[in-house]
Amino acid sequence: MTEVRKSKADKPPSWLERNMPTRESFEKIGFLKPFAHRIFHPALWRFTRRSVPRGVALGLLVGIFLLIPGIQIAGVALLALPVRANIPVGAAMTFLSMPATTPFILASSVFVGNWMLGLHADVARFQSLINSNAGFSEWSAWLLSDAAPALLFGLFAISVMSAIVGYILAAAFWRWRIMSKWRRRSKPVDARG
């Protein structure tokens, strides 16, 4: 009886493959059309040892600092041009700042901003402004308090550190993956048959 091997085309697509942004999904974003010839350059969509870690770092940097879902992916696409980062990986990394993680990111940012700047801001005030649909005057008062600088500086610090750690981990994972492939290839073939 012969064994039928399944090819990669026969396997169902993984969750990442189904949800990974495609060039076509970016083409539908209206304000990216002036940059389309650059954004859709094939080099920005290839998975290479340099572009993937850059995409991870850029996605974490933009995803954590901006925290606005539609703007994050467009920001990654535009910033990927000068740094030659992988756009799909960068866009996928922005999904780490989702509604479940956003309160943690905001609270951590205020804590880090307070610690680094020596301020005494309270994250509860920010949450109450969001929950009460505060008007312009309330947001203006918040911006003039200690909370806004603490939050913005903390977001910046956390996003930069996340980008650095993400880059190092992605580069190390890529290197480990390549090394393991080389080790498998260099093993002697068993001649016993």
The tens digit of pLDDT for each residue in 57-87 reads 999 999 999 988 888 988 998 899 899 999 9
Please work out, in degrees rounded to the nearest 5, the angle formed at the alpha carbon of residue 139 by the alpha carbons of 136 and 140.
80
What are the tens digits of pLDDT across the range 137-165? 888 888 888 888 998 999 999 999 999 99
Query: CB 134: neighbour CB atoms within 10 A?
Result: 16
Asked if residue 172 has pLDDT above 70, the reply is yes
Q: What pLDDT, on the 0 to 100 scale, is given for residue 25?
A: 72
Sign of CA dihedral 183, 174, 95, 12: negative
The Cα 43–Cα 111 span in angstroms is 39
Dmax over Cα atoms in the chain, in whole Å? 81
Residue 8: pLDDT band with limits 50, 70, 90: low
Decide if 53 contacts 177 (C-beta within 8 A).
Answer: no
**Lowest-confidence pick of 28-37, 43-52, 58-67:** 28-37
Asked if residue 56 has pLDDT above 90, the reply is yes
